[in-house]
């Protein structure tokens, strides 16, 4: 069962989403709202797998909701449903699951949702992660990964044996790291808590993370650190 949250400030478009999805046996609509601010509160309190949201909204934009999902380290994928094609490039940078233009058909919406189902059913439990590079696939033991950083359109995987580079997005790598001690620390970082040496205040809302086995550093949001502390207490 896929647990879904729906957000659109236009009642007609929200009702259309509800009417398409409410009779799908594999989908549970956990919440639907015209307010993106209310959606943000619900994202923190309700358990959902997938957020389907408009982009242009008067309070918080769909982009801001997607960005906050990453900031809080929430395991939620996002589908944008919008009337504007100009936002597609930025959507790619946010690593959203799909970008659907209005008006859309039921078949087009379900195609996007099926991408989520396919990703979940093909995920295999393993102690290794397979990194796609230009001319080869690198096999890395998960326990050797210290942290991963996203810079531009490439990801750097820092390990106890050196650094590896790939074009795979963080959301794809994160899906392979289904381990309690891997944390989406920041929109640009995945951190392995096992190697953390200390946290140093960087700004009011963020920390620099220092590690054992490397002098390189990562970033973690204040909210994520608070969640980590609660989980480990």
Both 113 and 133 in one domain: the answer is no
pLDDT mean over 213-226? 94
Query: Residue 20 sits in a domain of what CATH number?
Result: 3.40.50.2300
Q: Retrieve residue 122's tokens.
A: 């093909």
User: What percent of the chain has pLDDT above 90?
Assistant: 58
pLDDT tens for 130-179 read: 887 766 778 898 889 999 999 988 999 999 999 999 988 998 898 888 66
Both 134 and 93 in one domain: the answer is no
**Cα–Cα separations (whole angstroms), residue 96 to 53, 191, 224:** 11, 21, 20
Count structural domains, the chain: 2
pLDDT mean over 9-20? 96
pLDDT tens for 52-101 read: 999 999 989 998 999 888 777 788 999 999 988 777 666 666 778 888 98
Both 178 and 222 in one domain: the answer is yes
The residue length of the chain stands at 233
Query: What pLDDT is stored for residue 51 in this prediction?
Result: 97
* Residue 187 structural domain: 128-232
pLDDT tens for 29-52 read: 999 999 999 999 999 889 999 999
- The pLDDT of residue 230 is above 80: no
Both 100 and 147 in one domain: the answer is no
Both 117 and 227 in one domain: the answer is no
CA 149/CA 58 separation, integer angstroms: 32
- The pLDDT of residue 205 is above 60: yes
Q: Round the CA-based radius of gyration of the chain to a whole number and report it.
A: 18
Query: Residue 199 sits in a domain of what CATH number?
Result: 2.40.50.1020
Average pLDDT, the chain: 88
Q: What is the pTM of this model?
A: 0.54
Both 10 and 112 in one domain: the answer is yes
The distance in angstroms from the start CA to the end CA of the chain is: 31
- The pLDDT of residue 124 is above 50: no
């Amino acid at each position: 069962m896929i647990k879904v949250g729906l957000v659109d400030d236009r009642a007609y478009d929200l009702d259309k989403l509800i009417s398409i999805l409410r009779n799908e046996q594999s989908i549970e609509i956990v919440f639907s709202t015209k307010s993106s601010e209310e959606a943000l509160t619900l994202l923190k309190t309700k358990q959902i797998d997938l957020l389907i949201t408009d982009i242009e909204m008067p309070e918080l934009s769909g982009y801001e909701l997607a960005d906050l999902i990453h900031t809080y380290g929430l395991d939620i994928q996002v589908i944008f449903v919008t009337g504007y094609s100009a936002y597609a490039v930025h959507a790619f940078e946010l690593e959203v699951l799909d970008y659907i233009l209005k008006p859309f058909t039921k078949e087009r919406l379900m195609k996007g949702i099926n991408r989520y189902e396919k990703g979940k059913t093909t995920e295999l439990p393993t102690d290794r992660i397979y990194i796609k590079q230009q001319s080869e696939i690198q096999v890395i033991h998960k326990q050797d990964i210290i942290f991963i950083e996203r810079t531009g359109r490439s990801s750097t995987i820092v390990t106890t044996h050196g650094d590896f580079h790939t074009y795979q997005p963080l959301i794809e790598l994160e899906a392979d790291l289904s381990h309690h001690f891997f944390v989406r620390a920041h929109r640009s970082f995945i951190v392995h808590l096992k190697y953390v040496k200390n946290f140093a205040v960087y700004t009011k809302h963020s920390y620099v993370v220092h590690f054992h086995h490397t002098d390189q550093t990562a970033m973690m949001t204040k909210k994520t650190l608070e969640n980590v502390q609660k989980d480990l207490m």
